[in-house]
Structure 1
Amino acid sequence: MHEARQENKFLKTQLSDVNKELKKKKDYYYSKAKQEVNSKLINLEKELKNCKLELVLQKENIEQEFLKEKENYERTIDNLELNLKKQKKIFDQALQQSQEKFSKNLDILQKKLSDKGNGLSELEKENAKLRFEASKYQSALGVATNTRLGDDDQNHSVRLKQDILILQKSLENYVTHLKPNVDIDIEKIQTLAQEYGCLNEINVENKPFIKAILQRKVLDQVTFLSSILSDHRDIDVSLELYIDLKTQELTNLINIFSKHRVGTDKVTGVAAIKIRQEVYGILGNRGFNDAICFDADGTSKTFTHGFIIFASRELNNMMNQYRIINDVARKEQVEAMAPKLIQDIYKLMWFRFNVQEPIVNLHYFEKNDKIDPNVMKGNWNDDDDDINQLRVGICYFPLIGRDLTSSNRKVYTLANVISTSYNQFG
């Protein structure tokens, strides 16, 4: 036990000696490191001071160089301004001399002209007058021989196409979608379909076909009604027809005249075309519009065109045989569309087509004609491989365009058709 205490005491003494030794080393290294850091700081401060001094010197050098360059530029600018003033003075002197010389020459020429009298002046006036007259004639000749329609003309091909599409929509709205609260007389529809060569049985589910055949019937009925106009002797009712007939008569006579009378003017050759365009342009604008009558005291009043009243009544009666609209208000609304629809059909297909040069034509495709997507549109996919097996079931709106039988045809709107497999519906 005593030995253990002695050993413990010895170890503590050794530990104390080791701690003292470590403290001495620590103090030594700390002092040494501090000296090194202080030495480095002193060196860095010296370097910083030297850098600042160097920068100050560089700044002074740059400022001196800048001042020198500035002085050089200012001297250059002064020299340029001085040269510019000298050049301007020289130019002004030369200009003044030229003006004086020109003025003298002008005075000489004017004196010579004055000595020759007023003959030249009179010739110049006469020449100007003749030129003006010639320009007026050329302008009038251009107007008289130009058969192209302006972009703002309502009969321009773009406007005409738009109005044809609007007519198609109006026709569709008049026939209606055949629902709701609309009864269809299938027996009469079947008879109507047979008139167009469709012999297969039709049922009420075939509404797309029924709508199509009714639209075709409307167009055919309106065309047929126009043939009755000649039976009306009242000029107020048949005025449009008389103008149409007289225009055809006059243009035919002019064409005969231009072929059988010698002449070199350009107007005669296009006179018939220009007259046709002007007259049918007027008819396309006002044809079958409301009529005007005058009382004995000279006051005027307007009323619906007599033939439009007649044709609307006939068309509505005909349509009511095939589709019966049970809603009274809806029926009145649909029947009220008839006058405007008939006017638009006549204005487009009778009058405005004749304004075009060459005249626009229409063509209805026949039952069982092959489907041609280039001139038709309908219920098929143009990429369908079986399109060659499709045929026309009914063409319910015609193909419209110019030179339709020519290789140079211009199509305005495609024909609307319902397609069927070969021999379907007859």
Structure 2
Amino acid sequence: MAQGLSEVTNYQTNYEKIINDPIYEEIKLNKRLDEEIKFSKTLCNQLKNKYENLEKYCEDLQNNFNNVNNILREKQEFKKNIGDLNDHNTRLIKLLIETLEEKNDIIEEKDNTIQEKDRNIQVIDNLIKEKDKEIQAKDIIIQEKDNIIQDKDNIIKEKDNIIEELVNKFQVTDNIVQEKYNKIQEIIKKDKEIQDLKRIIILLREETSRCQAALGSAIELYDENNSLILRNDILCLQDLLEIYITNCKNRIEINIPGVQNLLKTYGSKTTITEKNPRKPLIKAVLQRHAIEQIFNYAKEYFDSPYTREIETIMLKKANNLSRLAEDFANQRDGVDEPTKVLHIKLRQEICAALINRGFNNVVNKKKNQSFPHNFISEYQDVLNNEIGKYRRILDPERKKNVENMAGVVIRNVVTLFWFRLRIQEPIPQKFWFGHNENIDPSRMVGNWDEDEIDNFVVDVCYFPLIANDSKVYTCAKIYPSSKNR
């Protein structure tokens, strides 16, 4: 116990020594100074921030002061502008008052006019009331007519029932028509077979004509058989043209405006339409046009001064030699028959050769080659395109077959009119009859009633008369029209 007290006493004594030690006092002082320095720094920072805020505040006050000065200047200008505006408004108000006074006068005049119109409207209202009464009376009449219409509606319903019965009967008739249509299709099929047979007949006639023409000098100058052969050749060409132009039916499309213009070209004044196309007339004018086009092709071919084609040279030489032989017979004394007929025989022999081989395929025997004649190959496409402007064949197979005939048609037309007619003696000529000429049955053929022939005239001549002064070989083919049309 005593030892413990002794230790406590020693501890207190040491503590007092430490406390009273100058070094300890200095430490305490330094610590307090550090705290004061920290506080001073904190206070300094706060003062610095307040200074910066105060500086910014002063700057804002300066800006506000400047703004206030600007506002005061604008206020002065605004007061000045208000003064000017008041003067302007005063003038405007004065002008407005004057305008209003003028308008007021106008309004008073219009009020008077309106009052006058009101009186007129009152009169019209009275008229309308009277009309309303009339309308009411007519409404009663309309109601009565509605009743009549209702009665007629009932009658119509009864007739509808009758029509329905007729429709049923028509259905039966339609079945009969369908059966007839099927028969017509069979006839069309047979017609195609007939056309094929006609082509074969034409080819046979052509071959026969060539064989007969090949007899040449064996045919006497005035032998009647020669005339029959010519007639047969002409009929063969007419059939060929008819097949080439087609019947313009059964999937054949006709250019009605184009054909109408073509009719005008040949003098016809007949009108054709989609509803009334007059197919026989269309066939006729297309046949005429085909012949005329081929004549143009041939004339250009034979009249060319630069051609080196054999057919052209032979025909020109034949004409020259025939004229020379005729001059020789007339200008040299003698009575022998061979010299007298030499110019005829020369012409006949050369033309017979041209009929047999003219415009046939050109051959090169050395190279064993054969190709179509230039005249035929050039103009068959031209002719197809020309006729195709007016009638278009929709069936591709039929179109091909018909267009393949163009070369044969061109050759037959040219050989007939340029070569075949020159075999006859005297040489026949072709004659076209014009629109509106009177019908002459001795020189024309066509479809007309013999008892009323005086009432018909020529509309279109589509194949010429072939004749000389003493003989008609074939009559012209005519499409007639009534004189009163």
TM-score, length-scaled by structure 1: 0.59
Per-residue deviation, 1:402: 2.7
The 2-side partners of 1:181 and 1:246 are apart by 48
CA deviation vs aligned residue, 1:290-344 (integer Å, no higher than 9, x gap): 11124xxx23221111101112111101001111112222111110011111111
Aligned partner of 1:17 in structure 2 is none
**Structure 2 matches for 1:22-61, cutoff 5 A?**
none
Match of 1:322 among 380, 390, 407: 390
Q: 1:307 to 1:220 in 2, by over 3 A?
A: same
SS in 2 for 1:299: coil
The corresponding residue for 1:398 is 464
1:261 match: 332
Identical aligned residues as a percent: 38
CA distance in 2, matches of 1:232, 1:320: 31
What pairs with 1:223-372 in structure 2 (closer than 5 Å)?
Answer: 223-229=295-301, 230-231=303-304, 233=306, 235=308, 238-294=309-365, 298-372=366-440
CA apart distance, 1:289? 1.1
Q: TM-score, normalised by structure 2?
A: 0.52
Gaps (5+ residues) in structure 1?
1-142, 404-408
Q: Shift of residue 145 of structure 1?
A: 12
Q: Does 1:214 align with 2:286?
A: yes
Which structure has more helix as a fraction of its residues? 2
Alpha-carbon distance in 1 for matches of 2:430, 2:482 = 25
1:146-179 CA distances to partner (integer Å, 9 max, x unpaired)?
Answer: 523485xxxx221221221121111001001112
Aligned residues: 266
CA RMSD of aligned residues (A): 2.1
1:20-169 equivalence runs, <5 A: 147-149=221-223, 151=225, 156-169=226-239
Map of 2:96 onto structure 1: none
SS of 1:393's partner is strand
Change (3 A) 1:150 1:398: closer
Give the drift of 1:200.
3.8
User: In the alignment, which residue of structure 1 is the partner of 2:241?
Assistant: 171
Is the contact between residue 285 and residue 347 of structure 1 (CA under 8 Å) also seen in structure 2?
Answer: no
Contact 1:276 1:355 in 2 (8 A): yes
Question: Aligned partners of 1:145, 1:262: CA distance in 2, in Å?
Answer: 27
Q: How far apart, in 2, do the equivalents of 1:145 and 1:265 lie? A: 20
Name the SS for the 2:369 alignment partner. Answer: strand
The Cα shift of 1:400 comes to 1.5
Structure with more contact order per residue of length (Cα contacts < 8 Å, sep ≥ 6): 1
The runs of at least 4 aligned residues of structure 1 exceeding 3 Å deviation read 143-146, 148-151, 230-234
**Residue 186 of structure 1: aligned partner:** 256
Distance 1:225 1:250 in 2: 25
Amino acid at match of 2:453: I
8 Å CA contact 1:368–1:423 kept in 2: the answer is no
- Unpaired runs of 5+ residues, structure 2, are 1-216
Whole-angstrom distance in 2 between the partners of 1:144 and 1:271: 14
Q: CA deviation at 1:395?
A: 0.6
Q: Which has the larger radius of gyration?
A: 2
Q: Judge conservation of contact 1:171–1:341 (CA < 8 Å) in 2.
A: yes
Structure 2 residue identity aligned to 1:168: Q
- Distance in 2 (alpha carbons) for counterparts of 1:221 and 1:280: 23
